[in-house]
Amino acid sequence: MAVHSFMAPSAEALPRSRAGYLPTLDGWRAIAIAGVLADHATTIFISRGGWYSHLRTGANGVSLFFAISGFLICSRLVEEEQLSGHISLRGFYIRRACRILPAALTYLGILAILALLGWVTVTPLEWSSCIFFFRNYLPPEWIRAGWGGSTIHFWSLAVEEHFYLIWPALLVLSGRVRARTAAAILAVAVAVWRWWDFHHQIVNRYLPGLLFPSRTDVRLDALLIGCLAALILAEPRWREWLVRRFTPAVWFACALAYVAYQVATRRHDYGLHESVLLAALVAGTVLRPETWVGKALENAAVRWVGRLSYSLYLWQQIFLVPAGHGPLFLLQRFPWNFIPLLLVAVLSYELIERPMVRLGHRLAAPPTPGRPEMHSPDTLPALQAEPIAQAS
């Protein structure tokens, strides 16, 4: 088997499957954040019961975020391995740190200022649990002020950070083939453990009152199934088979099954079946972006909302969740609270997220440029000059 070395094409010449950017995922992010915002912004209506109960879509939105993250992170790692012959964990963690930490730390910094002003209530332990990403293992009873409404959404960020620590190293150590088996086995193991602990309350004996749905050990399957979907699509033989078999009709049946279950039970269920369905829905649109669903997800306005999703998720807790005091309470009145939220999210994206992502690309250039507007032009020469080993 001969190995040839050649120069990487420019970012413009790369097909999107090799450009590190999947536009449909931005569309899915828009749907996920819409679910979270609808839930938090309409709490006052949800309490009335009736059809308003169907607005409890926040947990569904977070589960969708998990499926997207697992699929995207694994896709990019596999793409790096295919293009360069290896996966740089150092580069991955530098880029992830620049992507996640600056905006999160800025939010916590502003929150600390608001707490000093007496506009929100945040305890030191609660704040520290967000800094060190163990907010999802902090029982509400340990927070003297109560449930911690201004930081509770950091539970999902903690789950994702734990995933970042586990999965890339596992993928590097095991390789793609064995990683598929590992992802499937671990996902099933998490589901079994979730069922067992729910019925026997083992963890609750040591951490009484801990919120069960927020724990990494009972939610990791949502990300692992996304990884498994990415690994399956990375295999040409399986991808070709899915192109033939996973038709738009099958995709639509999966979507109906998911919606029907949620509507029929009127509750959010985060079992293994939900993780499989969400990963299948996401992967299906990546597989067939030319369908009307794919085109809708890739609509410019929808993708714009998706690009803001991380900032919207971080800052919505201040404006949509009535946990503020004094002047801040005036900014939490529905529906006017969406105006300051959108303004702050745009500022956060433009002034913090984009510059810091570009810094991450300068410190550790990725093998492909990724989302165009996030990529720094001065890293393109490094990408174009990087030799890629390809077997033929």
| pLDDT tens figures, 24-42 | 999 999 999 999 998 888 7
Q: What pLDDT was estimated at residue 373?
A: 64
Of 362, 388, 372, nearest to 20 by C-alpha is 372
Name the 3-class secondary structure at 391: strand
Give me the count of residues in the chain.
392
Q: What pLDDT was estimated at residue 58?
A: 85
186-229 residue pLDDT tens: 999 999 999 999 999 999 998 898 999 999 999 999 999 999 99
With cut-offs at 50, 70 and 90, classify the pLDDT of residue 270: confident
Q: What pLDDT was estimated at residue 120?
A: 86
Q: Which residues contact 119 (CB under 8 A, 6 or more apart)?
A: 324, 325, 326, 327, 328
Percent of the chain with pLDDT over 70: 83
Q: What pLDDT was estimated at residue 49?
A: 55
- Full DSSP string of 335-390: TTTHHHHHHHHHHHIIIIIHHHHHHHHHHS--SS--SGGGS-GGGHHHHHH-EEEE
Residue 379 has pLDDT above 70, yes or no: no
Q: Which residues contact 47 (CB under 8 A, 6 or more apart)?
A: none
57-76 residue pLDDT tens: 888 999 999 999 999 999 99
Q: What pLDDT was estimated at residue 147?
A: 66
Q: Which amino acid would we find at residue 75?
A: S
Decide which of 175 and 53 is more confident: 175
Decide which of 318 and 160 is more confident: 160
Average pLDDT taken over every residue of the chain: 85
Q: Which residues contact 72 (CB under 8 A, 6 or more apart)?
A: 22, 25, 226, 230
116 vs 105: CA distance, rounded Å: 17
* pTM of the predicted structure, to 2 decimals: 0.88
Residue 55 has pLDDT above 80, yes or no: no
121-140 residue pLDDT tens: 899 999 999 999 999 999 98
Q: What pLDDT was estimated at residue 149?
A: 83
Q: What pLDDT was estimated at residue 251?
A: 96
Residue 319 has pLDDT above 70, yes or no: yes
Rg (CA), the chain: 21
Decide which of 391 and 98 is more confident: 98
Q: Are 346 and 186 in contact (CB under 8 A)?
A: no
With cut-offs at 50, 70 and 90, classify the pLDDT of residue 267: low
Q: Are 149 and 317 in contact (CB under 8 A)?
A: yes
137-191 residue pLDDT tens: 999 888 876 667 889 999 999 999 999 999 999 999 998 889 999 999 999 999 9
Per-residue pLDDT averaged across 100-108, rounded?
Answer: 97
Q: Are 389 and 25 in contact (CB under 8 A)?
A: no
How is residue 278 written in tokens?
Answer: 């969400």
Residue 10 has pLDDT above 50, yes or no: no
Decide which of 261 and 158 is more confident: 158
* Cα torsion through 277, 281, 282, 283, rounded to 10: 100
Beta bridge partners of 179: none
Q: How many degrees, rounded to 5, is the angle at CA 117 between CA 97 and CA 120?
A: 65
C-alpha distances out from residue 130 to 108, 191, 279, 312, 391, Å = 8, 26, 28, 17, 45
